[in-house]
A and B are shown apart, each in its own frame.
Chain A
Amino acid sequence: MTAKLKLDRLFEFKTLLGIFSPIVAVVMAFVVGAIIILVFIKSFVLTESTFIRLAEKGVPAAVLESLQTLKGQEYPNRSAFGKDVRAAIGDQNYAQYGSLIKKQALIRENPLTVYNAIFTAALKDRDGWGNVLYRATPLIFTGLAVALAFQCGLFNIGGEGQMVMGGFAIAWIGFTFVKLPAFLLIPLCIIGGAVVGGLWGGIPGYLKARRGVHEVVTTIMLNWIAVAFTQYLTMAYKPEESWIPHTFEIAKSAQLSRLAHYLNPLGIDFPKSNLVNTAVFLAILAVIFAAYLLKRTKVGYEIRSVGFNPTAAECAGINVAKNTVLAMAISGAMAGLAGVNQVMGYKHRFRYGIFGGLGFDGIGVAFIGRNSPLGVVLAALLFGILDHGGLAIDVSTKVPREIILVLKAVILIFVVVSGEITKRLIKIIQKRQEANA
């Protein structure tokens, strides 16, 4: 029985490590972000306390007097500040006290305030949560796309392309079949998005299954083809009078209402401007569907067997080629559904700009979520928090919001590295177990 206990422990350890490593990665990324903030975000201000400190350090009162004119002014960089200080106190004093003044006036941004700003903006109230959900919704779709393909051992980087192709299909159906009532048009749009996304994903799947072409390159290429193609289509379906490169608006019956629309009548206070809409429910359904598909259906079983061991799957009679194409198609369909949020729930039109980057973020989301449906949800929420919270830091701190991109990238790097380290640790533990057995 001790053997069983030992095995149990390994099992737990493995899953624990699996959960731990993304968390560790996120924490490490925040540390790196903090270092960047501390090192690079500087400003120079002469406040009351600065004057007091300068006096304590022996700067003569006369000099301080001449500095008063600069009091309270914030300078983003050293040279501008230095120039004005020099102008205010004269060259001689500057030579003597210049560096001391600059040193004392230096303020660095506290990373914790920055992070606090991110999380409070995202989580403090319903509006925040709503926005987080709104931003997480398309990421759930694109993240699931990558995760599902990965279960079959395939690397789908084509989420970006599958998403816009599906998104355009959604828009086209939406502004073409305007006479249909909502209960017909909405499902039609959704199906259209899934089908077109699925086809776009199926192409690399087919090329891999039939010709052995690695899906990484084909999906990247198809991304750009899709971008160009949808750009062309956008112009083809652009309203004549519009300067903006977007298509016609989709029919009202295809538009998804914001959640506020439903929540407010129920007495739940929710700002009308909040973009979260009913697509979030579709995302939840997609997650449940993905989990169900993988764990409880024959298709999921076959896909996973091919992902784990295609040779054994083949030997057992499973059609590896068919499952490859199927996995890529389902994956593409998932990505195609991202358009439900972006087109039907938000812009009500197709415009490339509303999709930018969501496909690539999906890859990050999938990997941080260890390619599991639940993980994808958590990672998507994390990205949603970062995205929405990031807007706030622009306003309330001196840190440019692009730090969020940096954070995402560093999280991604740490996740893959820690993933490797985890795998190796598990191997070492297993070897030791075998030796002891």
Chain B
Amino acid sequence: MAEYAVEMHNISKHFPLVLANDDVTFTVQQGEIHALVGENGAGKSTLMNILYGLLHADSGSIAVSGKTARFVGPGDAIAHGIGMVHQHFMLIPPLTVAENVVLGQEPSKKGFVDRAKANQIVQALSDRYGLKVDPTAKVETLSVGIEQRIEIIKVLYRGAEILILDEPTAVLSPQEVDELFEILRALKDQGKTIIFITHKLQEVMAAADTVTVMRRGKVVGTVPTADTSRQEIATMMVGRQVLFRVERTRAEPGEVVLTVKDLSALGNKGLPALRAISFSVRAGEILGIAGVEGNGQTELVEVLTGLRKAQSGRIELNGQVTTNRSPRLIRESGTGHIPEDRHRRGLVLDFTVAQNLVLGIHYRKPFVRHLGLDVINFGPIQEKAERLLAEFDIRPPDQDNLAGNLSGGNQQKVIVAREFDQDPKLLIAAQPTRGVDVGSIEFIHQRLLQARDKGKALLLISADLEEILSISDRIAVMYEGQIVGSLDPVEATEERLGLMMTGGGK
């Protein structure tokens, strides 16, 4: 057998706005468990999608078990013994485990599904690798951890020798993570090769034999885990860079504006997303919450803005309790919100720029006149739009242009303009410069600092460490639904932050 199960040489892949993989060479030895780590946008998912045939590389070559391979689609990859377990499961809830596994390649007798045989095969696979699934159970009754194992069986059923797992622990509880690692070891004992993508370093150290670190589309290094440490990997992930720190005055924080105490909430799959999280933000300061996406930041913002129920805990804004109040009420209490997904939550793309600029305050005077029916007063809206277009340099400066026609950066500026103009006491900015051009990034950061200087309380949530480090007055790190560390930016180094963000703990 060839020494290398997978060899990817000089792989490059362009997307319209970004070079996702930049001359990447990635090799995996036969029968090893290999972790592929990096921050969001590092290029690891792209690389694996190329390996699985979902994407085509612009250049480079792939060899599987020593033989060069060209993959037109996943079918080819599967034929070469590669199986991928995606982050988002492709399971059909009302069907049983066995039905989900065999779908498309069903064992059959004269057109009838051979249930018994399917169950038998699934049971055998389950026993062989210690997966512990019940073939007859309906998927909708099963936990996420078991769903993942079903995906693994699916892949094994189709003859995979090389398994790729994309962020497998993202949706698992700690016990389920341990169980997964046992399974991976069992698979390895049976001769399988495993690649798993993650950003959680203690898992890398616990489960992998080798780790490859990617950063901004390039491979930073490949080392056996035995020869390295979490700190080293974190440094490689996060990188040593000259950070552009915005010129700013020292903050003078005043009263506490926002208090969050023991806040807990569930995520979309019913698993805890926020675990008794507590922090506070004062007027005139920017609290930057750093963390890799998927650790509860989205849910935190949703709970703070009234878009998600809190199970327990308390939110206080200027002394007013705002836990589980309606979004409108929370807004009216003086909260502004720059959402992390500007297309889904921030803008109505089919509305004009002017209409988007009053979204959320459209019902207030002077934008409406109460004539029995609330009639829109176009004059004040137009004036406001003109003013904001100029003030925030939104291009093209046409308020009747549909928001969907603007570039990402300008769309974000519309949202920023709208929220700032409200003069909120607390401004929550979630990933405010994601997907935004450099010029607009600078602009938005300036505005955030200006607001802070005017005495506003700002909560900045970002996966971009540079951003956090450059404008925050205080930094907190969020990991798995909790605040795991709080630092002054002066003492915050990339290493320390990277470590905390990947589970390194206090």
Contacts and interface: CB of A to CB of B under 8 A. Distances in A.
B351 A308 contact: yes
Contacts of B355: 301
A317 B327 contact: yes
Given A7-B401, A317-B331, A319-B328, 18 more contacts: A293-B373, A296-B376, A297-B375, A298-B362, A298-B363, A299-B373, A305-B348, A308-B350, A309-B344, A311-B345, A313-B359, A315-B305, A315-B345, A316-B327, A317-B327, A317-B360, A434-B16, A435-B16
Contact of B339 (A11, A293, A301, A315): A315
B183 to A, nearest CB: 37
A10 interface: yes
Interface string A21-39: 0000000000000000000
Interface string B425-463: 000000000000000000000000000000000000000
A62 interface: no
A224 to B, nearest CB: 29
Contact of B374 (A10, A298, A311, A316): A298
8 contacts: A296-B376, A302-B362, A305-B348, A308-B348, A311-B344, A312-B346, A315-B307, A318-B360
B349 A298 contact: no
A65 interface: no
Interface in A205-237: none
A12 interface: no
Nearest to B332: A317
A302 B373 CA distance: 13
Given A301-B362, A309-B344, A317-B331, A437 B407 contact: yes
Interface in A305-356: 305, 308-309, 311-319
A148 to B, nearest CB: 15
B405 A10 contact: yes
Contacts of A296: 375-376
A385 to B, nearest CB: 32
A80 interface: no
A324 to B, nearest CB: 16
A427 B368 CA distance: 35
A297 B373 contact: yes
A425 B438 CA distance: 32
B16 to A, nearest CB: 7
B87 interface: no
B396 interface: yes
A4 interface: yes
B347 interface: yes
B348 A315 contact: no
A244 interface: no
Interface residues of B, number: 35
Interface of B: 16, 305, 307, 326-328, 330-332, 337, 339, 344-351, 355, 359-360, 362-363, 368, 373-376, 396, 398, 401-402, 405, 407
Contacts of B350: 308-309
A3 B345 contact: no
A314 B376 contact: no
Which of A304, A314, A434 counts the most B-chain CB atoms under 10 A from its CB?
Answer: A314
Nearest to B370: A298
Given A7-B396, A301-B355, A313 B376 contact: no
Closest 9 A/B residue pairs (Cβ) = A317-B328, A316-B360, A298-B374, A315-B345, A308-B350, A317-B327, A309-B348, A316-B359, A308-B348
Given A297-B374, A298-B376, A299-B373, A3 B396 contact: yes
A312 B360 CA distance: 10
Contacts of B327: 314-317
A4 B398 contact: yes
A376 B5 CA distance: 64
Given A312-B346, A317-B331, A305 B374 contact: no
A126 B58 CA distance: 70
Contacts of A304: 351
Nearest to A6: B405
B413 to A, nearest CB: 16
A305 B359 contact: yes
Nearest to B337: A315
A315 B328 CA distance: 8
A255 B16 CA distance: 66
Contacts of A313: 348, 359
Given A315-B305, A317-B331, A299 B374 contact: yes
Interface string A242-265: 000000000000000000000000
Nearest to A10: B405
B427 to A, nearest CB: 15
Contacts of B331: 316-317
A251 to B, nearest CB: 30
Contacts of A293: 373
Nearest to A433: B405
Contacts of A314: 307, 327
A211 B421 CA distance: 37
Which of A302, A308, A309 counts the most B-chain CB atoms under 10 A from its CB?
Answer: A309
A296 B344 CA distance: 25
Nearest to A14: B402
Contacts of B376: 296-298, 301
A7 B363 CA distance: 30
B396 A4 contact: yes
Nearest to A315: B345
Contacts of B339: 315
A312 B396 contact: no
